[in-house]
Amino acid sequence: MLCLLKFFKRVLHRSIQRTNNKVTDYLAKMTSSDIEHFVVLEELSHETKTLLEEDTRSNILEESISN
């Protein structure tokens, strides 16, 4: 990841709690731990779309409470 940073003028890092990032957790569990496998999702599954909507609502609510 650090070698990629040199290609960007500005990088913003934002920490998101695991409970508010269900999509990433779900996708990570889908992939194999074997480096020989590469997963390409051409379209989001219904479950992934639902998790994304939940994450978005949760993060918006968290931001509005913290401000």
Closest C-alpha among 12, 5, 16 to residue 56: 16
2-45 pLDDT, tens per residue?
677 778 778 777 777 777 788 888 877 776 666 677 777 788 88
Asked if 59 and 16 count as a contact pair (C-beta separation under 8 A), the reply is yes
pLDDT of residue 6: 76
